[in-house]
Structure 1
């Protein structure tokens, strides 16, 4: 068995004296692991760092085997990411989210989104909405997508202000007003037609409270998991950068 693809490094761990097991998110083969012989060498260690973009050749005798990677660098982002606490927590959080998906399941759209988020991890203004939308995309890929395109009660596409915690569907400000205390705020930060953002910190808290609610209810709790510590670290670093 053999394939060639591009990927973004999510992490690696030692294997034996000289090798490493590499975890990558690939364009066509999903999240994939493989053995890199000599992965702890001076030449390869800098390449196998989270956030780097690489080309991969994977070989194994059988498809279900771990297999081995041949890795070549395309874009070395890790050194830049290591300069920022926000970026460090961000790349760790992206990896934690992607590990919610079955290994080797292709998610080409999600890979494209990952590329964009990784490029902007050091920029608080850009990465905030990108990460919130990445969490929405993860929910969608897991089968728990939210419908934020139109009002569940009126069908309107403008003025969306709330999300039902039961159905995950958007509601306009006017239609949702009688139940406002039972609905989740839908910040313009992640709505499809964002208004001018005045309270950035408040918008960020609402955005990650919204995605966090559905991640906990539909993913973490049913699997008996705790929220990854990198999520709290990312949000805290983000708040410090906009505070």
Structure 2
């Protein structure tokens, strides 16, 4: 059994002295792990850095085996992201969320395409935390936990949507929320309008929103916490907001 495809490196862990267990993400194979022999060597370790886009070849005797993974660089994303603390935190967070939330060996084309679009922006240090929140909404939808932000769950209104129910994931207007407002999550306007860039406060609210549903549904159903890299990003953004006053 074998396959070849371009893929995104999501995780690489040491195995023995010189090998790595690599988790990669492809459009057709989904999240797929393999043994990269010699992957930790000086000559090959740069290839398997998280976020890199790599031409992959997986070979195994049986489909359910770990198999062997080899690759050649298509685009090095990690070195560019390492030039900026926020870009690096975003890269680590998005890869940790993707590899932790998606089921293995199941195609998830919308999430793959969304991540493929985000990576070059991370390498160029122009991606924002808001773009990660938008990606996480795509991932939640892929998993069957998509948020319904089209109309108010209580009144049916499509304007003035400002909150989200933490229980149902449906949008609500300020007026309809009434006394329940304090129990709901803020809905940043940029999540409903792609033309809006958002700002630090909106990005933090967006990460809080998607983080709630990721933690409860994508990770909670498997008794796992939200990845530490994702938590670190939120705290980094919080610190920037505090520093800016």
Q: TM-score, normalised by structure 2?
A: 0.87
- Show the counterpart of 2:190: 189
Task: Name the CA distance, whole Å, in 2 between partners of 1:123 and 1:175.
Answer: 42
Q: Where do 5+ consecutive residues of structure 2 fail to align?
A: none
Q: What displacement does 1:86 show?
A: 1.7
- Structure 1 match to 2:52: 52
How far 1:208 sits from its partner (Å)? 1.7
Q: Distance in 2 between matches of 1:217 and 1:227?
A: 9
Match in the other structure for 1:67: 67
User: Structure 1 residues 179, 15: closer, same or farther in 2, change over 3 A?
Assistant: closer
Cα deviation, residue 145, structure 1? 1.5
Q: Secondary structure at the match of 2:88?
A: helix
Contact 1:117-1:127 at 8 Å conserved across structures:
no
Q: Which moved further from structure 2: 17-26 or 30-39?
A: 17-26
For 2:138 and 2:184, locate their aligned partners in 1 and report how far apart those are by CA, in whole Å. Answer: 21
Structural mapping, 1:105-116, within 5 Å:
105-116=106-117
Whether contact under 8 Å (1:32, 1:103) holds in the other structure is yes
CA deviations on 1:138-187 (whole Å, 9 max, x unpaired) are 22222221101222233333221111222111122333345323322211
SS at match of 1:24: strand
Which residue in the other structure is 1:89 paired with?
Answer: 89
1:76-155 maps to which residues of 2 (within 5 A)? 76-98=76-98, 99-121=100-122, 126-155=127-156
Q: Does 1:218 align with 2:192?
A: no
TM-score, normalised on structure 1? 0.87
SS of the equivalent of 1:189 reads helix
Q: Tell me what 2:15 maps to.
A: 15
1:121 partner SS: helix
Provide the residue aligned with 2:38 in structure 1.
38
Q: How many angstroms does 1:82 deviate by? A: 1.6
Residue 225 of structure 1 aligns to a residue in which SS? coil
Report what 2:229 is aligned to: 230
Q: Which residue of 2 aligns with 1:166?
A: 167
